[in-house]
Amino acid sequence: MVRRVVILLFCLFHCSAPASAQPIEVSVFEGGEGLGFYRRIAQEFKDMVPTTPVRLEGDPRIADRLRIRILEGNLPEVTNASINAWSLIEHGELLPLDPWLDGPSWDGSTTWRETFSPGSLDAFTHQGKTYGVPLVYVVWSVYYDKAMFRRHGWERPKTWPEFLSLCQEISEVDLAPVAFQGRYPYYAKALVQNTYYQRAGPTAYAAQEALEPGSFHNDAMVETLSWLERLSGKYFQKGSLGMSHTEAQLEFFQGRAAMLFCGSWLFSEMQDNIPSNFELGAFPLPLPVSKFADPQASYATSGSWFVFKNSANPEAGVEFLRYLTSSKVAGAFASERGITVAVKGANAALHPMMVDVAHQLDGVRRTFGSPAGEVIPGMDQVWNDVLGKLMAGRLGAVEAVQELETGSVRARQRYEQPDRIEVRHIGKTTAFVAFVLGGLLLGWRRPSCSRATTGAGHHGRNLSFLGPALFVYTVFFVLPSLVAFLVSLTRWDGLGTPRWVGVANFSRLLLESDAFWVALQNNLYLMVVIPAIVLPLSLLLATALYHGVWGQRFFRIAFFFPNLLGVAGILLWQQLYNPQGGPINAILTALGMASFEGFAWLSPDHLYTALVPMGIWGACGFNMVLFLAAMQSISPDLFEVADLYGASAWEKFRYVTLPMIWETLIAATIFMLIGGMKAFEAIWLLTNQSPNTETHVVGTLMIRSMFVEQRIGQAAAIACLLFATVLVGSLFVHRFSGGEEAGQP
């Protein structure tokens, strides 16, 4: 009775309570500056509009998370993440903001649209409708320390020739002229695009943005890239290609490099790391000598805020944005965060440290910049790859231009003719198919007849013992794997409905895709090089332990440690490989190998070499313990017999130990091969979750297909090919080792 009353009261209370306000969700890119400013704004907004509390979510990788949320259908109201807005616009997921833009601004003095700097709204205007509003409006500059320049009597350069000769002067006093955020090659893209615009003019620039044929393959682009080539070849700080953006920027602020290219978020990002006697100065990016050179035109990009149409309360989201971009808030943002904003007049309040950038903006009459997100997908990867290789000295300007042109042609073709497949790798495809078929034919064995005994009549018992395991295993593992085969035969972006395309995904991956074969090659490298070292080494160590060195148990435990670590181990090695401050380079230089000073182990050039010691460290322990266990189960009688025959240590190993542990050896080999094929975490984490074309393995390529390119069918096809390789590879090893299949007596 009491219980019923309580329940009743509870219901009454709940029903009569005022409807609790539904919070809107704001997903923010969290850079170095943290979320403090946004939290304050969210609080102020809630105070003004109490029915709409704001739930803030911030993260440096917000874009990745958001992509997953979009696939899940779990949408926030508002975000400024760098997602692929174009695909979302096409699917009608983003709210067109024009009704509000044409309405009053937050302080009522004019329309909302009018409050923005000219051109800043263009980035996400499509077919007359505007889908994004900017807060941040970034210009790129060359940053320097005014005190340092004064000390040396250096002058701010205006043109590329002046810039390069300044670099030469700087290098002569033993200082690195330019720090560069090399792990992210796109930091050079602004520089390249600005130079190209100034060299070839607005029309040529627009053509390049639209990926028109020939827009890359021209003299102006060659000249542009030659400037970059010369700069990176001689004047980039040593090791910069392996440095993250904050690491390179730290080098700059700590005085080890004289200049830095960056967007106007630099101050905000590095605020806590600027020494007190540092006088931050900035000047515009160097201009080429050309009739098109226009000091009043500047490369600028807006950070855009979007509203999701299908979120719970999009109108409230728009209100939040109106507040966020009001002059008062934008002014506070510019003043506190020190980032230039797109709201007219608000930059007057820009933080004093950024005064040079404010001056730079003052003189600007025209802006141009690449719209964030790609209308034609795939080109970003090409830019990244080509710029990376150019700066690493692996490509000259002429070849780079050719690769950009080829890449743009392919991107365009794939966009305009999605069903067309260009055959480029017929030889490799044939070999692969032969490999798979061969393996299946060789390895296939008809299951032998089993001895049927008393199976009948025990259904209840059988079901209760076997049922649960079979059910879980089938539903949550086998079923999805089978479905993967089906999905691989479709084209699907995860949002709409899948479209049947037969083997097109496979044809494209095998016959056309360069990226797939490069990735497969990387897997092969991991499957061959690392086991080739690990297996003999662990065998050696196991033998040593077997012969009874003191502290066997201690060694066993310690050797196994690295195997336990997973992600933590990989991240540990990421720190070990730090170019400037990491112990590996420190030891190598101390040992006299000066070329390792600032060596960029984790840059695309050297990543796979760096993976070898890491792989050995991680895998030896496990294999050693495995072999040791196998050795210890060999009957001592065999050794006594060998002794009777006067066998030497080597002969005992060769004729007694080895055959007895053969099956374990084969199993270990197969595990390592499978591991090499399944490699994912190491490459994913060491490349900061964005490998480029030459560092991908098949596993990371799959995740990129699924979450970045949103080509679900392709992702599934990659997974199928991975599976086929693993299966066939194991079958081959098994067949040619002559061993019985483990587990089957």
Partner 1 sequence: MKNRLSGWGIGSLLWAYLGMTLAPFLWLIVTSFKPSREIFMAPFALPDRATGANYVNAWRVGQLGESFFNSVVITVLVVLATLALSSTAAYALARFGLRRAKALQFYFLAGLMIPIQLSVVPLFFEMKALGLLNSRLGLGLVYLATSLPFAVFLLVGFFRSLPNSLREAAFLDGAGEWTVFSKIMLPLARPGLATIAIMTFLGVWNEYLVAFVLLGGGADQALTTLPLGLANLTQVGQFRTDFGLVFAGIVIVMLPTLIVYVTLERHLTKGLKMGANKG
Provide the minimum distance between the beta carbon of 60 and partner 1 in the complex, in angstroms, as a whole number.
5
Provide the minimum distance between the beta carbon of 106 and partner 1 in the complex, in angstroms, as a whole number.
30
Q: Give the Å distances, CA to CA, from 114 to 121, 222, 311, 360.
A: 10, 40, 27, 22
Beta bridge partners of 298: 367
C-alpha 140/C-alpha 298 separation (Å) is 8
**Residue with token string 């009569």:** 16
Binding characters for partner 1, 632-651, by CB under 8 A (x = yes): xx--x--x------------
26 three-class SS: strand
Phi/psi at 393 (nearest 5 deg)? 80, 15
Binding flag, residue 295, partner 1 (CB under 8 A): no
| Tokens of residue 590, six digits | 């101390």
State the Cα angle at 69 between 65 and 75, rounded to 5°: 120
**Residue with token string 């098949």:** 698
> What kind and span of H or E run contains 633?
none
396 three-class SS: coil
Interaction residues for partner 1, span 57-96 (CB under 8 A): 57, 59-61, 64-66, 68-69, 71-74
Cβ nearer to partner 1, comparing 200 with 520: 520
Burial of 459 (0-12, 13-18, 19+ CB in 10 A): exposed
Select from 93, 145, 269, 374 the one that contacts partner 1 (CB under 8 A). Answer: 269
Which of 162-170, 319-327, 563-571, 595-603 is the region at the interface with partner 1 (rule: CB under 8 A)?
Answer: 563-571
C-alpha 554/C-alpha 532 separation (Å) is 26
Which of 218-226, 355-363, 514-522, 546-554 is the region at the interface with partner 1 (rule: CB under 8 A)?
Answer: 546-554
Interaction residues for partner 1, span 568-627 (CB under 8 A): 568-569, 571-576, 578, 580-583, 586, 617, 620-621, 625-626
How many Cα neighbours within 13 Å face the side chain of 243? 24
Interaction residues for partner 1, span 513-542 (CB under 8 A): 540-541
Cβ nearer to partner 1, comparing 607 with 667: 667
Cβ nearer to partner 1, comparing 221 with 715: 715
| Tokens of residue 366, six digits | 């025209």
Cβ nearer to partner 1, comparing 111 with 462: 462
> 319: Cβ–Cβ under 8 A, 6 or more apart, which residues?
45, 49, 52
Select from 176, 241, 250, 354 the one that contacts partner 1 (CB under 8 A). Answer: 250
Binding flag, residue 556, partner 1 (CB under 8 A): yes
Which of 25-33, 111-119, 382-390, 512-520 is the region at the interface with partner 1 (rule: CB under 8 A)?
Answer: 25-33
Binding flag, residue 440, partner 1 (CB under 8 A): no
C-alpha 6/C-alpha 347 separation (Å) is 59
Q: Give the Å distances, CA to CA, from 662 to 179, 256, 426, 539, 729.
A: 53, 56, 38, 11, 18
Interaction residues for partner 1, span 217-246 (CB under 8 A): 244, 246
Binding characters for partner 1, 652-691, by CB under 8 A (x = yes): ---------x-xx--x------x--xx-xx---x--xx--
Distance of CA 605 to the CA centre of its chain: 17
Interaction residues for partner 1, span 717-736 (CB under 8 A): 719-720, 722-723, 726-727, 730
Provide the minimum distance between the beta carbon of 100 and partner 1 in the complex, in angstroms, as a whole number.
28
Which of 53-61, 122-130, 209-217, 316-324 is the region at the interface with partner 1 (rule: CB under 8 A)?
Answer: 53-61
Cβ nearer to partner 1, comparing 6 with 472: 472
C-alpha 49/C-alpha 45 separation (Å) is 6
Interaction residues for partner 1, span 344-373 (CB under 8 A): none
> 317: Cβ–Cβ under 8 A, 6 or more apart, which residues?
24, 26, 77, 78, 95, 307, 308, 311
Provide the minimum distance between the beta carbon of 450 and partner 1 in the complex, in angstroms, as a whole number.
5
Binding characters for partner 1, 462-501, by CB under 8 A (x = yes): x-xxx-xxx-xx-xxxxxxx-xx--x------x-------
Provide the minimum distance between the beta carbon of 51 and partner 1 in the complex, in angstroms, as a whole number.
24
Cβ nearer to partner 1, comparing 24 with 270: 270
